[in-house]
Structure 1
Amino acid sequence: MIEILSKFDNRFHELLSKKTIASASSTSVLPDGFADSLDAAEEVIMRWDKASSDAAWTKMIWDSNDDAVDYLHAVDEVQNILESLSLSQRRAGVERAQNLLHVSMARLEDEFRCLLETTSGPVDPERLLDSFASSSMAAAASSSFNSNCDDDGEGSSIAGTYRDEEGENSSDDDNDEDVPVARPVTDLNPVIELLPPDVVESLNDIAKRLVQGHCKLECCQIYGSVRKVVLEESLQRLGMDRLGIDETQRMPWELLQNKIKKWIQVMDVGVKVLFASERQLCDQVLEGIPGGVEESCFAELAKGIMMQLLCFGEAVAIGKRETDKLITILDMYEKLRDLLPEIHSIFSGESCLSVREEASGVLLRLGEAAKGTFAEFENAVQRDPPKTPVPRGALHPLTRFVMNYLRFLLVYVDTLKKLFGEKPAVPVYYHHHHQYSSVPAENTSPLAVQFIWIIHLLEANLDNKSKLYKDLALTNLFLMNNVRYIVQKVRHSELSSLLGDDWMRRHSAQVRQHAKSYERSAWVKVLACLKDEGIRSGGSFSTGVSKAVLKERFKSFNSALEEIHRTQSGWCVPDSQLRSELRISVAEKLIQGYRAFLGRYKIYLESERNPQKYIKYTPEELEKMVNDLFGGS
């Protein structure tokens, strides 16, 4: 640069020596020294004036570094002259300098625009994603490094032991080389260079002169208009859509869901890479210019685009509340929440206040949308109408849906805890629906209350659906299966810690109660056949046995058993452990009673013709029949 400036000084002196007489006479009103400088500056500036030179149309100043340096020095000379002279002192000379400054500003505006347009271009999505992925991997590596070093404090204790053992000897050898030590990754900045450094330097040189020449507004407008187009195209290549609120709300959910996924990616990569890089570029181009010019310029190019992105979030937030949307809305909420500090940092200053306020407002409305959609989920569970009974007493689709939905929501447990943090611990409605679930303890978290309430609504709905069965045994089996499924889903997930041990104990007891109710309603008729009442004359063992009654009793037992085997072999108990436990429980009661009954009365029929007509089954055969039960799927 020093060499270039030296060359300029030589050429500038040559220009001074070639002044014409006309030029000399025109500047005679200026003090000595100023006239020569103004003449030399005028020759450089007018050489690039499109109104005065045809060559100025075919070539740009910044095509040559020497020409650029000459022109900047000429502009600086004019500005120095204007700063040194007052209008009243040398009116003619000042007016001439002002005219030259006006001509130079017009040319610098052209150069500024041309340099921006020829070097700016949309960023390839792969480059953006690579930069974003690299920073994410670096963050993960840094986190892993820190966690490994901090485990049990071993890193610090080992270092301390090493220093203690070395003592003073550790400093004796000044020639020891430093031992390489692994360092955590600290540079997690995904910002990229949008323009080459030499171009940024040239733009900064031009911008400084434009602002000094009172063309701050024009400078910002040129910079903003060029970079805005580039930024918008880069985001569009990444997947940004320009959608209005009405268009967004009319869109089918399947299509809107895909748009939301794209929006999340565009926001993530856009804020962390593109907007951050644009802010860095803007700060570099306008570095050293007082008055917060970089903030107004950045607002000029980025504010509208960011507001467009936030408008999409607003459209989703104020849309119709539907259960299917909750997960997606939570994704949007979490992404905007995580990006909010960076948005506030990038869009700093008074010029971007509206962006920061809008981002915070959209986040608030997405949170309200999530809570409203959660409430709609509650309503959907409560309103799901009983239509036709589920075949074979199996799991109801509503049970699967609700429990899997709740388990999936655990991914967002921290977010949900924050959203429901203001709600009372025990809602009033619990006191009116305590027949299904007891009121939660006062220290139950607000989120746990919401989950307990939804399961309570599910249980109430299942109770209504169970009434569709005409067979009481199948009613109890249906409730047993569904409550068991609920308990298992809670037990094998983080729901167990959220809902608490008391909830688990009560619902496990419900499963056992439904199982007992099934056994009573299904097997009471069969087991009644194995009672002694009515078989002996006079009702005591001291009197004789009525063979006719005994034969009828065995026939009734066989008939009832065969009917149960025929119907309940197709019934369903999906949980293998519960199915095994239920078979064992039934077998114990049935086979034990049957063995005792045979032991007491078998001898009375063995002498009869065709005793197998009445004593059709052995205890082993009964066990096999019981093991055939609940084989439906």
Structure 2
Amino acid sequence: MFSKLLSKDNTNSVSSSLYDQSTSTDGPTFSETALEDIIDNAEQIIQKWNLDARFSTTNLHDSHFQSLFTQENIQEAQQFLGSIRDSQQAMPLLRAENSRSAMVLRAHNLTKIAMKRVEKEFHYILKTYRTTILSPESVSQSFNEEGRLHSGFIESEADKINELIMTNIRSIADCMITSGYKKECVFIYKIVRKSVIDEALYNLGFYELEHSSQMSQIKKLGWDSLEVKMRNWRAVVRTPVKTLFRGERVLCDHVFSNLEKDNIGDACLAEICQDRALSLFSFVENVAKNKKILSPEKIFMFLNMYEDPSGLRDDIEMVFSSDYFSNVKSQAKTSLLKLAEAVRVMLTQFESAIDKDTPKTALPGGTIHPLTRYVMNYLVALSDYSDSLADIIAGSPSAPRNTLPAFYFASPDLRNGHLPERTISVRLAWIILMLISKLDCKAELYKDHVALSYLFLANNLNYTVSRVKTTPKLVLLLGYDWISTHESKVKQYIEKYERIVWAKTLASFPNDPTADIPSAKITECFRLFNAGFEKAYQEQSSWVIPDPILRDEVKVSIYRKLVLTYQVFYEKHRTAAVESIIRYATEDLVNCLSDLFVGKDTVSRGGPSGSSTATVYDEYFSRLPSSSQSPSSSWER
């Protein structure tokens, strides 16, 4: 009866009523009787669940121990906790009557007996369900994003047990702390929960990382060993933050939710997780500060490490939200800053490597230079990290604005700096501009073959543009204006190559190849064409165009400007010329063109000395216009 009267909701009013009765002029008889009844009722249930002396609060493996807080004893467990509250609430009134009375001593002893049982129960529940209901993974799933226990979805028996356990540990914690056993409650909670986290981290391999997280240890590691550690860190980091630490945050908030003003939950979480979290993030900082390992090719590992904690920012803020964890948040932020600094250093090293690359010897055939492949492979890989790079290089020096033409910016917004992507767009455009500048220097090595220098530039710029076009993020960052401008530049290089190589050969014919001219002039035209074509063919026999699309475009251009002109002249004047001077039929020229730009080792059709019986046609050329169509030519003749 009094247990109900002195429930949590009625404590103040009932206690005040009893106190008023105890000090009334009518005498203390009723209040003493009521208080004695409260103690008697409390003693009855507390003594029922009194632990025998052989049970200790930490001996959880005693097979004789029976927990009060089970599904079968829900009501009795509530009565037990209610009796403790009744006894505690009656204590001040008893002391007011007589601080040394036997009743006060009884109430005090009952509290000690009850707390022994409650401590045992608290430890037992935390320990028994540490890997099931109370595991961080299970706790995370049991609570919604606001940290509240899911309700309305309790369907199975397991769900009911889950809710009961979560309710019991909070009720017990409330009881212990309000009864003056805060220290014992927190001690038990921290010991058990810290062991849960430590065991989970051990299974993840965290302690191997923690051992090598000190700067002195990191400096001893070679790159291969350190890279393994970094990969392990990446594999580990998400689980502690998103599951282990988050689960502990949720559980602490739940268990100590009625005591938020005391920050008990934050204090417990700090004891359980703080040191481990600091070790987790300090590893990153110390790796990033090890300048001797930094080099351009390692930037991607550092970018991966940067993106991992960056993607966990919301989780870190949620778990370590209170002032207790200012050092953890500071460490996580410092780690990101150091990683960003390391990435900027390596990006600068990459640019410096391009700048320091000195021309040595011309590549045979004007093929794609290794520097071009290296730079574009690097930029394609970097583009996968465009969001992170935009953050990282936002505050770093970039290409001076006046050194980059307008088309180096993807859009008017980027040109005016209205989008965050502008920083990375400018930086990538600047790197490509550095590459193009180096290619111009390398093209000068083809001193005796100016046409080949233009073919070299066309090949390399075409490769650069192709890599951009086939990389969606580079298209987004550099824009279609950039692509269009550089495609036009490729065409200009090809036109210059064609003009230098083929213009003289094309000039063998009159401007109007169908015009009537003397037979001697006709013979001279064929002779000049033969000499010019054979010289150009032999000169280009080892030249290459690696891109099959560009290769076909160049062949088609030569076909339309040279071969079709020859075909018209050949069909008009071959009967008037000395037969021995005519070396090529149209199909022979087509076969010769088919051999070009694939490399010297692949030429197999006999070159320009092949007879008119050669009938090997590329499928591509077989679809080109016949001589009935006028040849097109933009070469000067």
Q: Do both share a fold (TM > 0.5)?
A: yes
What is the match of residue 205 of structure 1? 171
Please give the secondary structure, in 2, of the residue aligned with 1:295: helix
Contact 1:122 1:234 in 2 (8 A): no
Match of residue 90, structure 1, among 86, 99, 103: 99
Deviation at 1:42, TM superposition (A): 7.1
Q: Deviations over 1:344-401 (max 9, x none)?
A: 2222222223223333333344444444433333233333454655443222233234
Tell me how far apart the structure 2 counterparts of residues 629 and 86 of structure 1 sit (CA, whole Å). 110
Deviation at 1:423, TM superposition (A): 6.2
Q: Deviations over 1:237-271 (max 9, x none)?
A: 45645330434566565665565555445444443
Tell me how far apart the structure 2 counterparts of residues 324 and 194 of structure 1 sit (CA, whole Å). 55
Amino acid of the residue matched to residue 589 of structure 2? L
What is the match of residue 349 of structure 1? 322
Amino acid of the residue matched to residue 294 of structure 1? G
Deviation at 1:485, TM superposition (A): 1.6
Match status 1:504 vs 2:483: yes
What is the match of residue 276 of structure 1? 246
Match status 1:400 vs 2:373: yes
Contact 2:465 2:486 in 1 (8 A): yes
User: Residue 599 and residue 75 in structure 1: after superposition, are their counterparts in 2 closer, same or farther (change >3 A)?
Assistant: closer
- Summarize the alignment of residues 279-428 of structure 1 with structure 2, pairs less than 5 Å apart: 279-289=249-259, 291-320=262-291, 321-386=294-359, 389-422=362-395, 427=400
What is the match of residue 461 of structure 1? 438
Deviation at 1:408, TM superposition (A): 4.1
Tell me how far apart the structure 1 counterparts of residues 93 and 187 of structure 2 sit (CA, whole Å). 30
Q: Deviations over 1:309-337 (max 9, x none)?
A: 22233344434443334444444434433
Match status 1:53 vs 2:53: yes
Contact 1:207 1:285 in 2 (8 A): yes
Please give the secondary structure, in 1, of the residue aligned with 2:486: helix
Q: Deviations over 1:489-538 (max 9, x none)?
A: 3344453453345533442232123223323444467568x489xxxxxx
What is the match of residue 574 of structure 1? 546
Contact 2:459 2:545 in 1 (8 A): yes
Amino acid of the residue matched to residue 54 of structure 1? R
Match of residue 67, structure 2, among 62, 67, 70: 62
Please give the secondary structure, in 2, of the residue aligned with 1:617: coil
Please give the secondary structure, in 1, of the residue aligned with 2:91: helix
What is the match of residue 596 of structure 2? 629
Tell me how far apart the structure 2 counterparts of residues 98 and 616 of structure 1 sit (CA, whole Å). 122
Deviation at 1:120, TM superposition (A): 0.7
Tell me how far apart the structure 2 counterparts of residues 346 and 193 of structure 1 sit (CA, whole Å). 25
Match of residue 197, structure 2, among 214, 228, 231: 231
Contact 1:426 1:440 in 2 (8 A): no
Please give the secondary structure, in 2, of the residue aligned with 1:62: coil
Please give the secondary structure, in 2, of the residue aligned with 1:571: coil
Q: Deviations over 1:166-199 (max 9, x none)?
A: xxxxxxxxxxxxxxxxxxxxx9xxxx99993333
Q: Deviations over 1:524-560 (max 9, x none)?
A: 67568x489xxxxxxxx99x9899xx69x94x86566
Match status 1:484 vs 2:455: no
Equivalent residue pairs, number? 530
User: Residue 195 and residue 558 in structure 1: after superposition, are their counterparts in 2 closer, same or farther (change >3 A)?
Assistant: farther
What is the match of residue 494 of structure 2? 515
Tell me how far apart the structure 2 counterparts of residues 196 and 125 of structure 1 sit (CA, whole Å). 11
Tell me how far apart the structure 1 counterparts of residues 135 and 486 of structure 2 sit (CA, whole Å). 52
User: Residue 396 and residue 425 in structure 1: after superposition, are their counterparts in 2 closer, same or farther (change >3 A)?
Assistant: closer
Tell me how far apart the structure 2 counterparts of residues 325 and 406 of structure 1 sit (CA, whole Å). 14
Contact 1:426 1:439 in 2 (8 A): no
Tell me how far apart the structure 2 counterparts of residues 55 and 456 of structure 1 sit (CA, whole Å). 79
Structure 1 residue runs of 5 or longer lacking an equivalent are 6-29, 137-186, 533-540
Please give the secondary structure, in 2, of the residue aligned with 1:222: helix
Cα RMSD (Å): 5.0
Contact 1:295 1:348 in 2 (8 A): no
What is the match of residue 427 of structure 2? 450
Contact 1:193 1:277 in 2 (8 A): no
Contact 1:286 1:294 in 2 (8 A): yes
User: Residue 452 and residue 73 in structure 1: after superposition, are their counterparts in 2 closer, same or farther (change >3 A)?
Assistant: closer
What is the match of residue 451 of structure 2? 473
- Summarize the alignment of residues 178-193 of structure 1 with structure 2, pairs less than 5 Å apart: none
Tell me how far apart the structure 2 counterparts of residues 341 and 126 of structure 1 sit (CA, whole Å). 18
Amino acid of the residue matched to residue 126 of structure 2? L
User: Residue 508 and residue 42 in structure 1: after superposition, are their counterparts in 2 closer, same or farther (change >3 A)?
Assistant: same
Tell me how far apart the structure 2 counterparts of residues 106 and 385 of structure 1 sit (CA, whole Å). 81
Contact 1:38 1:78 in 2 (8 A): yes
Tell me how far apart the structure 1 counterparts of residues 55 and 468 of structure 2 sit (CA, whole Å). 81
Q: Deviations over 1:49-69 (max 9, x none)?
A: 88x833667544626756866
Amino acid of the residue matched to residue 119 of structure 2? E
Q: Deviations over 1:405-442 (max 9, x none)?
A: 434444443444444445688616x64x98x9899985
Structure 2 residue runs of 5 or longer lacking an equivalent are 5-30, 146-152, 511-516, 603-637
Amino acid of the residue matched to residue 194 of structure 2? K
The percentage of aligned residue pairs carrying the same residue is: 31
Tell me how far apart the structure 1 counterparts of residues 41 and 376 of structure 2 sit (CA, whole Å). 84
User: Residue 194 and residue 223 in structure 1: after superposition, are their counterparts in 2 closer, same or farther (change >3 A)?
Assistant: farther
Amino acid of the residue matched to residue 568 of structure 1? Q
Tell me how far apart the structure 2 counterparts of residues 308 and 224 of structure 1 sit (CA, whole Å). 19
Match status 1:80 vs 2:89: yes
Tell me how far apart the structure 2 counterparts of residues 72 and 231 of structure 1 sit (CA, whole Å). 30
Amino acid of the residue matched to residue 53 of structure 1? A
User: Residue 440 and residue 33 in structure 1: after superposition, are their counterparts in 2 closer, same or farther (change >3 A)?
Assistant: closer
Tell me how far apart the structure 2 counterparts of residues 388 and 131 of structure 1 sit (CA, whole Å). 64
Deviation at 1:455, TM superposition (A): 0.4
User: Residue 378 and residue 218 in structure 1: after superposition, are their counterparts in 2 closer, same or farther (change >3 A)?
Assistant: farther
Tell me how far apart the structure 2 counterparts of residues 123 and 237 of structure 1 sit (CA, whole Å). 19
What is the match of residue 155 of structure 1? none
Tell me how far apart the structure 2 counterparts of residues 39 and 318 of structure 1 sit (CA, whole Å). 68
